[in-house]
Protein backbone atom coordinates (compact mmCIF):
# COMPACT_ATOMS: atom_id res chain seq x y z
CA UNK A 1 0.00 0.00 0.00
CA UNK A 2 1.32 3.46 -0.97
CA UNK A 3 1.44 5.95 1.87
CA UNK A 4 1.48 9.60 0.93
CA UNK A 5 4.48 11.46 2.30
CA UNK A 6 3.04 14.51 4.04
CA UNK A 7 6.29 15.56 5.68
CA UNK A 8 7.40 19.02 4.58
CA UNK A 9 11.05 18.89 3.60
CA UNK A 10 12.79 22.23 3.35
CA UNK A 11 15.95 22.87 1.40
CA UNK A 12 18.19 25.65 0.16
CA UNK A 13 19.19 25.91 -3.51
CA UNK A 14 21.67 28.52 -4.76
CA UNK A 15 22.11 29.60 -8.37
CA UNK A 16 25.29 31.67 -8.77
CA UNK A 17 27.56 33.03 -11.46
CA UNK A 18 28.62 36.23 -13.21
CA UNK A 19 26.50 38.92 -14.79
CA UNK A 20 24.58 37.71 -17.88
CA UNK A 21 24.95 34.03 -16.95
CA UNK A 22 21.23 33.29 -16.61
CA UNK A 23 20.89 33.24 -12.80
CA UNK A 24 17.61 35.13 -12.71
CA UNK A 25 16.30 33.22 -15.72
CA UNK A 26 16.94 29.92 -13.88
CA UNK A 27 15.32 31.29 -10.70
CA UNK A 28 12.20 32.27 -12.66
CA UNK A 29 12.14 28.87 -14.42
CA UNK A 30 12.21 27.01 -11.08
CA UNK A 31 9.52 29.26 -9.59
CA UNK A 32 7.27 28.82 -12.65
CA UNK A 33 7.62 25.03 -12.35
CA UNK A 34 6.60 25.26 -8.69
CA UNK A 35 3.54 27.33 -9.71
CA UNK A 36 2.70 24.76 -12.39
CA UNK A 37 2.81 22.10 -9.65
CA UNK A 38 0.25 24.24 -7.74
CA UNK A 39 2.72 25.15 -5.01
CA UNK A 40 2.35 28.53 -3.34
CA UNK A 41 5.38 30.74 -3.87
CA UNK A 42 6.69 34.02 -2.47
CA UNK A 43 9.43 35.91 -4.27
CA UNK A 44 11.69 38.63 -2.88
CA UNK A 45 14.42 40.97 -4.06
CA UNK A 46 16.31 43.86 -2.40
CA UNK A 47 14.67 47.28 -2.77
CA UNK A 48 17.91 48.59 -4.29
CA UNK A 49 17.28 46.61 -7.51
CA UNK A 50 14.99 48.81 -9.63
CA UNK A 51 16.71 48.22 -12.99
CA UNK A 52 13.77 46.74 -14.88
CA UNK A 53 10.87 46.91 -12.43
CA UNK A 54 10.19 47.73 -8.79
CA UNK A 55 7.63 44.95 -8.30
CA UNK A 56 8.98 42.16 -10.52
CA UNK A 57 12.06 40.03 -10.74
CA UNK A 58 13.11 40.48 -14.37
CA UNK A 59 15.82 38.63 -16.27
CA UNK A 60 18.03 40.35 -18.84
CA UNK A 61 15.98 38.69 -21.59
CA UNK A 62 12.76 40.17 -20.14
CA UNK A 63 11.18 37.15 -18.44
CA UNK A 64 9.58 38.20 -15.18
CA UNK A 65 7.72 37.09 -12.08
CA UNK A 66 6.09 39.28 -9.45
CA UNK A 67 7.93 39.85 -6.19
CA UNK A 68 8.04 41.78 -2.96
CA UNK A 69 10.95 44.21 -2.69
CA UNK A 70 12.40 44.22 0.85
CA UNK A 71 15.08 46.12 2.75
CA UNK A 72 15.94 43.41 5.28
CA UNK A 73 15.90 39.62 5.00
CA UNK A 74 13.86 39.25 8.22
CA UNK A 75 10.80 40.39 6.24
CA UNK A 76 10.82 36.97 4.53
CA UNK A 77 9.96 35.30 7.83
CA UNK A 78 6.51 36.91 7.65
CA UNK A 79 5.34 34.76 4.73
CA UNK A 80 2.01 32.97 4.94
CA UNK A 81 2.14 29.55 6.57
CA UNK A 82 1.04 27.86 3.31
CA UNK A 83 3.97 29.16 1.23
CA UNK A 84 5.97 26.18 0.01
CA UNK A 85 8.64 27.87 -2.12
CA UNK A 86 10.52 31.13 -1.57
CA UNK A 87 12.53 32.72 -4.38
CA UNK A 88 15.22 35.33 -3.71
CA UNK A 89 16.95 37.33 -6.44
CA UNK A 90 20.12 39.43 -6.15
CA UNK A 91 20.95 37.87 -2.76
CA UNK A 92 24.44 39.40 -2.78
CA UNK A 93 22.89 42.78 -1.93
CA UNK A 94 21.47 41.59 1.41
CA UNK A 95 23.47 41.55 4.63
CA UNK A 96 24.66 38.35 6.33
CA UNK A 97 21.38 38.03 8.26
CA UNK A 98 19.96 36.38 5.13
CA UNK A 99 21.92 33.24 6.01
CA UNK A 100 19.98 32.70 9.26
CA UNK A 101 16.69 33.71 7.63
CA UNK A 102 16.93 31.11 4.87
CA UNK A 103 18.00 28.50 7.43
CA UNK A 104 14.83 29.25 9.42
CA UNK A 105 12.67 29.04 6.30
CA UNK A 106 14.20 25.70 5.26
CA UNK A 107 13.79 24.37 8.80
CA UNK A 108 10.08 25.23 8.53
CA UNK A 109 9.87 23.01 5.46
CA UNK A 110 10.14 25.71 2.81
CA UNK A 111 12.11 25.18 -0.40
CA UNK A 112 14.30 28.31 -0.73
CA UNK A 113 15.74 29.16 -4.16
CA UNK A 114 18.41 31.89 -4.18
CA UNK A 115 20.06 33.63 -7.14
CA UNK A 116 23.05 35.94 -6.84
CA UNK A 117 26.48 36.98 -7.98
CA UNK A 118 29.11 34.85 -6.28
CA UNK A 119 31.88 37.43 -6.86
CA UNK A 120 31.97 41.20 -7.19
CA UNK A 121 33.60 43.23 -9.98
CA UNK A 122 36.99 42.77 -8.30
CA UNK A 123 36.63 38.97 -8.36
CA UNK A 124 36.16 38.73 -4.58
CA UNK A 125 33.38 36.73 -2.84
CA UNK A 126 30.29 38.94 -2.75
CA UNK A 127 28.39 39.71 0.46
CA UNK A 128 26.57 36.76 2.03
CA UNK A 129 26.98 34.49 -1.00
CA UNK A 130 29.86 32.36 0.40
CA UNK A 131 27.77 31.64 3.52
CA UNK A 132 24.72 30.78 1.43
CA UNK A 133 26.76 28.46 -0.78
CA UNK A 134 28.09 26.70 2.32
CA UNK A 135 24.65 25.90 3.76
CA UNK A 136 22.87 24.99 0.50
CA UNK A 137 21.81 21.46 -0.31
CA UNK A 138 22.13 22.25 -4.01
CA UNK A 139 24.43 24.72 -5.80
CA UNK A 140 24.36 25.44 -9.50
CA UNK A 141 27.04 27.66 -10.99
CA UNK A 142 25.95 29.09 -14.32
CA UNK A 143 28.24 30.77 -16.84
CA UNK A 144 27.96 33.53 -19.38
CA UNK A 145 29.99 33.60 -22.58
CA UNK A 146 33.09 35.80 -22.64
CA UNK A 147 32.34 38.72 -24.94
CA UNK A 148 36.01 38.98 -25.94
CA UNK A 149 36.97 35.38 -26.80
CA UNK A 150 33.85 33.18 -26.57
CA UNK A 151 35.05 30.97 -23.68
CA UNK A 152 32.94 30.33 -20.59
CA UNK A 153 32.80 33.52 -18.53
CA UNK A 154 32.72 33.60 -14.76
CA UNK A 155 33.77 37.23 -14.09
CA UNK A 156 31.75 40.46 -14.22
CA UNK A 157 34.08 43.16 -15.52
CA UNK A 158 32.93 46.69 -14.76
CA UNK A 159 33.25 49.08 -17.67
CA UNK A 160 32.87 52.27 -15.63
CA UNK A 161 35.51 53.93 -13.45
CA UNK A 162 33.38 53.73 -10.30
CA UNK A 163 35.04 52.05 -7.33
CA UNK A 164 31.82 51.67 -5.34
CA UNK A 165 31.08 48.03 -4.52
CA UNK A 166 27.44 48.22 -5.64
CA UNK A 167 26.81 49.75 -9.04
CA UNK A 168 23.64 48.51 -10.67
CA UNK A 169 23.92 48.17 -14.40
CA UNK A 170 23.49 46.18 -17.54
CA UNK A 171 25.55 45.67 -20.69
CA UNK A 172 26.59 49.32 -20.70
CA UNK A 173 28.16 48.90 -17.24
CA UNK A 174 29.41 45.28 -17.14
CA UNK A 175 30.72 42.64 -19.50
CA UNK A 176 31.12 38.91 -18.83
CA UNK A 177 34.70 37.72 -19.23
CA UNK A 178 36.64 34.48 -18.86
CA UNK A 179 39.56 34.37 -16.42
CA UNK A 180 42.23 35.26 -19.01
CA UNK A 181 40.30 38.15 -20.56
CA UNK A 182 39.30 39.41 -17.10
CA UNK A 183 42.92 39.46 -15.91
CA UNK A 184 43.96 41.28 -19.10
CA UNK A 185 41.11 43.80 -18.64
CA UNK A 186 42.17 44.47 -15.04
CA UNK A 187 45.74 45.07 -16.24
CA UNK A 188 44.44 47.45 -18.93
CA UNK A 189 42.34 49.25 -16.30
CA UNK A 190 45.41 49.73 -14.09
CA UNK A 191 47.53 50.99 -16.98
CA UNK A 192 44.81 53.15 -18.54
Q: φ, ψ for residue 81 (rounded to 5)?
A: -65, -25
CA dist 20 and 40 (Å) reads 28
> Catalytic residue at 100?
no
Q: Where are the alpha helices (DSSP H) in the chain?
A: 23-36, 97-107, 129-135, 179-191
Q: Which of 77, 67, 60 is nearest to 31 (CA)?
A: 67
Give ∠ CA 19-186-139 in degrees, rounded to 5. 35
Active-site annotation holder among 54, 90, 175, 188: 90
Q: φ, ψ for residue 30 (rounded to 5)?
A: -65, -40
Q: What positions carry a catalytic annotation?
A: 90
Amino acid sequence: MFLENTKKTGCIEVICGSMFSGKTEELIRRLRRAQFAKQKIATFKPTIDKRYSELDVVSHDSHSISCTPIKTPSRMLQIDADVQVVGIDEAQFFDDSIIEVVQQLANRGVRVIIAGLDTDYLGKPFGPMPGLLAIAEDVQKVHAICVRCGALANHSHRLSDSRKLVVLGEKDTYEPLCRDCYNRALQEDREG
